[in-house]
Amino acid sequence: MIARSYASNPALSRLAALAAFTLALSACGGGDGDAPAAPVTVPALAGDLSQAALLGEKIFSDQSLSASGKQSCASCHSPDAAHAAPNDLTVPLGGVDGKVQGFRAAPSLRYLNRTPVFFFAKDGTPTGGFDRDGRAQSLAEQAARPLLAPHEMANASKADVVAHLKQATYAEQFKQVFGAAILDNPEQAFARITYALQQFQLEDPAFHPYDSKYDQFLAGTVKLDDAELRGLALFNNPTKGNCAACHTSARGADGSAPLFTDFSFDNLGVPRNPRIAATLDPAYFDLGLCGPDRTDLSSRAELCGAFKVPTLRNVATRKSLFHNGYFTNLTDATRFYVRRDTNPEEWYPLALDGKVDKFNDLPPQYRANVNIAEVPYNRTPGMDPALSDSEIGDVVKFLGTLTDGYKN
């Protein structure tokens, strides 16, 4: 099993947003177990964005920067969908013709500004980083990949991205901010593009508004109803939902709002999703920390199948849940958590021998990595699930209080 840390407030340090013009916000964490500095977090007000962030806002919505001319960052991370997918596709479509299917569900880009760079905690817990496998060390690095990925914006090179930007209405503004000759150097220009995208996400309060019903409940300005309060209690109860073990729900020691993630990684044994075309190949497996996208930990067999714990903020708005989008609604996803081990036949197909093929989206040699030790997974067939159906309903009701933009 992966060692885990459940500190409600990981040791994160804050840096000033515009103190330095850098592309790498901090170095990768070392092996000493100390939490590295978190990326910049900016308490910006609406209309108070830096010039780089204002450019990033335009770049974020610019479809002309893709090979198809029809896809932007916002296509998969819509502001109207909490900066996640605006549709019910299992995984996004992209590519030169806009018809190439990806491999993972599009995550939300909200509440990433306090994410630490990837490191191993003192107890061995892999922690932090961007992307579902933590391989990107900053929002700038995370922003680079979709621009070039064949199944996303599908540009053949950084030079192609810059060539598109030269034709944009904001090309002159880009040169004013980053230098008159910046577009003559594709490598540097591409780095500034991703930097601008990073600053937009860090500075625009729309990416981290902290204005859900739960935030207002913590502030004492609204009350949760009875079902929501029951759901919160079950969410926090270590013998029931135990959700807060990873999805921290309490304020930090410094009074900071909860992010509903501890940035750790876990292996949940989510069922294989046949709606992803790549799974038609029986040899294909998405192993998270140990590949195929991340390569530096490929030799760490005990990490295979682990993915980063996401924030649960705005989870009620999602139509594609978990890394492979297998679940399409919160009720089923929550039922999976508490019935995966008591009733595996509900989630997994039968193997040729007639037995349930449990954890079927992992090669047999990695199935022992799946978390079966913690509540609610520490059960076997014949035992009662940790939550009843009515309790599942209460937890789902509580999760609905984490949606941004609540109006009393």
Q: Do 328 and 380 sit in the same domain of this protein?
A: yes
Confidence of residue 12 (pLDDT cuts 50, 70, 90): very low
In a domain, 44, yes or no: no
Contact of 387 with 234, CB cutoff 8 Å: yes
> Residues 143, 238: one domain?
no
Counting residues of the chain whose pLDDT is more than 90, the rounded percentage is 88
Same domain as 325, residue 220: yes
Mean pLDDT score of the chain: 91
Residue 378 lies in a domain: yes
- Check whether residue 199 and residue 228 sit in a common domain: no
**How far is residue 393's CA from residue 15's CA, in Å, rounded to a whole number?**
40
Output the DSSP codes for 69-138.
SS--HHHHSBGGGTTB-SS--SS-EESTTS-EE-SSPPPP-TT-TTPPPPEE-TTS-EE--BSTT--BSS
Query: Locate tokens 């002159």: which residue?
Result: 172
* Average pLDDT, integer, range 367-375: 98
Mean local confidence (pLDDT), 135-161: 98
Q: 157, 189, 207: which is the final residue of a domain?
A: 207
286 shares its domain with 244: yes
Nearest residue to 388 via CA among 236, 214, 230 = 230
Among candidate residues 151, 131, 145, 141, the one with its CA nearest the CA of residue 289: 131
CATH number for the domain including 96?
Answer: 1.10.760.10
- Residue 313, domain member (yes or no): yes
Residue 221 counted as domain residue: yes
- Determine the structural domain holding residue 74 and report its residue range: 51-110+136-207
Number of domains in the chain: 2
Q: What is the pLDDT of residues 80-114, one digit of tens each?
A: 999 999 999 999 999 999 999 999 999 999 999 99
Same domain, 237 and 368: yes
3-state secondary structure 270-328: CCCCCCCHHHHCCCCCCCECCCCCCCCCCCCHHHCCEEECCCCCCHHHCCCECCCCCEC
Does residue 104 lie within any of the structural domains?
A: yes
CA distance 114 to 40: 7
Q: What is the pLDDT of residue 59?
A: 99
pLDDT digits (tens, 9 = 90+) for 44-72: 454 689 999 999 999 999 999 999 999 99
- Are residue 270 and residue 345 in the same domain, yes or no? yes
pLDDT at 33 over 80: no
Residues 337 and 243 placed together within one structural domain of the fold: yes
pLDDT digits (tens, 9 = 90+) for 301-317: 999 999 999 999 999 99
Question: Do residues 190 and 310 share a domain?
Answer: no
**148 and 229 fall within a common domain:** no
**HSE-up of 294 (CA within 13 Å, CB side)?**
27
With 0.75 as the threshold, say if the pTM is over it: yes
Residue 2 lies in a domain: no
Same domain, 354 and 370: yes
Residue 367 has a CB neighbour count (10 Å cut-off) of: 18
